[in-house]
Each structure stands twice: as structure tokens, then as C-alpha cells.
């Protein structure tokens, strides 16, 4: 088989706070060779995800990247060599691989899937028809369990996960309120993603009052992507038998030392509130159903999405850092090479 030259981004040093570009380095070497049953993929897009802060942190996490190894990431690309009977060269596939031009993947892995380039732009396999859409769908429907007429509040509402949560909640007959940073993002929430109201947390001195004004009947589901003081405030406005989906902790820069905050237990008890941590990979079995529904809603014009695509693998570390400054305007992706389908 042809030997390909590879470029990849490795983790040089673990993070003690927010991920900085200096923690990474781009290296060049030979592309890896697929072993028995494996495939070699030439990536087209890779992602930058807020969860990566945890993957590279010195603090304990559900996933980890070792120093000196390729930074883990979600990717979509074209198979250039296959040792698997069900995957052929030229097929488009999405997988959990890394920030690299060429990657080896195991098609038997639960997160490996083929992508139909006729359905939608292949970049969506990393966004609304991929990890973000699946996270929104499973977290909201399985954990948040919204009912028609419920008020659903979402943080990072203009982002990839948050905007999908708001739209799915709307499809399910809920009233939706988004929290986002800046007037451009709150306008996106109401004008593009169909939220009934949006709050700019960066321009609001009194979030408690702003939320009460936007949620006159209280909050039935809070889909929390940030934690911190926003969560503390929301906990005081959750209705009887309300649900809080803990999906992300973007507002906390570091977990060392452990930050102190509100004591929620009395409120949880009195109002019988269910507050539950959500990890998308616990729901991989629901991904095919999520994909079917999300694709249908996309085709029906019920789902809008935004992408922020940076050019070139070497921009990935800066793209990641930008997520914590909120500079991304939608799903943060990195185009590794020209997209052969556009």
C-alpha cells in the first residue's frame, strides 16, 4: 500500500486551567498502517470540543490524552485502505480519532459509523448529525424528559449542543429560553434557533430577575452546559419534579482546587428535583434513532445549525482555546484538507 506522509497535532503538556495553544505541537511522520480488521482514514474535518479541557487536564476525567500522543478528536474522512470486510475504500466515515491527516480506526468501535454524503454536508456528521446532535437529543429526551408545555432553559444556547437542545425542545412542544454570551448570540437564539426568549448573561447584572421574567411559570427542565453561578441561580427556579441535565461545566475554569458554592440539597428535596449527570457515550445505542430523527427534522426544515470552520490542522489548538472565550460562531470544526463533496 502507498505510504502517506502524515501531519498530526500532539499534546505536549497537560493543562492545569484552560487549554492553551502552547500545550500542543504539530509533527510530521509516516501515516500509521491499519492492522487486521482496521481501516486507514484520510480526515477531511476534525473537531474542537469544550470537553477536551477535561481530556487534557491534570485532574481526573472520564477520558484522557497522554502527553506525546495525537490529540483525540471527532473526525470525518474518507477510507483510503480497508482491512475490514464491511468497509470499502472511498467510503465516508465518522469516528473518534484525532487531530491528524491520516488515522487508523476500528470499524467495530461503537462510535464508528458510515456517513452518506448525499444526506447533508459531511461536516454535519461532527455536529447536528453527530456528537452535538446526539448529545442534545439523548440528554434532553432521555434525561430531561420534557413534556409539551414545559419550560426548558438551556445554557450555551447559541452553540452546537445548546441550539439543538432548544430546537428539539420546541419540536416537542415546549417553551424555550436560551442563555448565551453577547447580543449576536442571543439574536441567533431567537431569530434562527426559535427560542421564545434569550438572555445575554454577559450583559445582565441580575440573572435571577432576568430568568424569572423570561420564565414566569418557573422552569421544568434546565439543560445545563455551564454549571457555576448560573446553575446556582436556576436551581432556585426549578418547578416541582423538575429535571436538571448536567451536560457541561464550561463556566468553571479549573477543578483544582475544588470550587465552593451553593448547597442545593434542601431545594432538591423540597421540590423533588432530579439533577443528573449526562455522558453522551452512555447512550450510543440510541444514536441510530437520534440520527434518523435529526436527519428527518433537518430535511423538514425544523432544525437550523451553524458551523465555524477553521482552515488547516495547525489551527486546531487555537480553535479549542477560542471555545472558552466564546469566540466560536457555531460548531467549531477544522478543515484538514479540501472537502471532496463541495
Where on the chain is the footprint of ligand NAP (CB under 6 A)? Answer: 49-51, 131-132, 135, 156, 158-162, 180-181, 185, 225-226, 247-248, 250-251, 278-280, 323-324, 326, 328
Contact 164, 305 (CB under 8 A): yes
Q: Which helix (H) or strand (E) holds 335?
A: strand 331-335
Nearest-angstrom CA–CA distance, 306 and 108: 31
Query: Residue 224 CB, nearest distance to ligand NAP (Å)?
Result: 9
Distance, in Å, from the CA atom of 194 to the CA atom of 331, rounded to the nearest integer, reads 18
Closest distance of CB 131 from ligand NAP, Å: 6
Cα torsion 203, 208, 211, 216: sign: negative
Q: Is the CB of residue 309 less than 8 Å from the CB of residue 284?
A: no
CB 158 to ligand NAP: min, Å: 6
Closest CA to 264 of 285, 233, 295: 233
Q: How far is the CB of 250 from ligand NAP (least distance, A)?
A: 4
Measured distance CA(4)–CA(7) in Å, rounded: 10
* Nearest distance from C-beta of residue 18 to ligand NAP, angstroms: 9
DSSP-based three-state secondary structure for 29: strand
Amino acid at each position: 500500500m502507498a505510504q502517506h506522509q502524515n501531519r498530526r497535532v500532539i499534546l505536549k503538556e497537560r493543562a492545569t486551567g484552560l487549554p492553551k495553544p502552547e500545550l500542543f505541537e504539530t509533527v510530521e511522520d509516516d501515516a500509521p498502517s491499519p492492522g487486521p480488521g482496521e481501516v486507514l482514514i484520510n480526515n477531511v474535518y476534525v473537531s474542537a470540543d469544550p470537553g477536551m479541557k477535561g481530556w487534557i487536564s491534570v485532574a481526573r476525567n472520564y477520558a484522557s490524552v497522554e502527553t506525546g500522543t495525537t490529540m483525540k478528536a471527532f473526525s470525518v474522512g474518507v477510507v483510503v485502505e480497508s482491512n475490514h470486510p464491511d468497509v470499502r475504500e472511498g467510503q465516508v466515515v465518522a469516528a473518534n480519532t484525532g487531530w491528524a491527516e491520516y488515522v487508523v480506526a476500528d470499524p467495530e468501535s461503537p462510535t464508528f459509523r458510515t456517513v452518506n454524503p448525499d444526506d447533508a454536508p459531511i461536516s454535519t456528521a461532527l455536529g447536528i448529525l453527530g456528537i452535538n446532535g446526539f448529545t442534545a437529543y439523548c440528554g434532553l429526551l432521555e434525561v430531561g424528559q420534557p413534556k409539551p408545555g414545559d419550560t426548558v432553559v438551556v445554557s450555551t444556547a447559541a452553540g452546537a449542543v445548546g441550539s439543538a437542545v432548544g430546537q428539539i425542545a420546541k419540536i416537542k412542544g415546549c417553551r424555550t429560553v436560551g442563555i448565551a454570551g453577547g447580543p449576536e448570540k442571543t439574536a441567533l437564539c431567537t431569530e434562527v434557533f426559535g427560542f421564545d426568549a434569550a438572555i445575554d448573561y454577559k450583559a445582565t447584572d441580575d440573572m435571577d430577575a432576568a430568568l424569572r421574567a423570561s420564565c414566569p411559570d418557573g422552569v421544568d427542565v434546565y439543560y445545563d452546559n455551564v454549571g457555576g453561578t448560573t446553575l446556582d441561580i436556576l436551581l432556585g427556579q426549578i418547578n416541582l419534579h423538575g429535571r436538571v441535565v448536567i451536560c457541561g461545566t464550561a463556566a468553571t475554569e479549573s477543578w483544582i482546587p475544588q470550587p465552593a458554592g451553593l448547597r442545593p440539597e434542601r431545594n432538591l428535596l423540597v421540590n423533588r428535583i432530579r439533577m443528573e449527570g449526562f455522558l453522551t457515550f452512555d447512550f450510543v445505542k440510541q444514536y441510530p434513532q437520534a440520527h434518523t430523527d435529526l436527519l428527518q427534522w433537518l430535511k423538514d426544515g425544523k432544525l437550523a445549525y451553524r458551523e465555524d470552520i477553521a482552515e488547516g490542522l495547525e489551527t486546531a489548538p487555537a480553535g479549542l482555546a477560542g471555545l472558552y472565550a466564546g469566540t466560536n460562531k457555531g460548531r467549531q470544526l477544522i478543515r484538514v484538507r479540501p472537502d471532496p463533496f463541495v
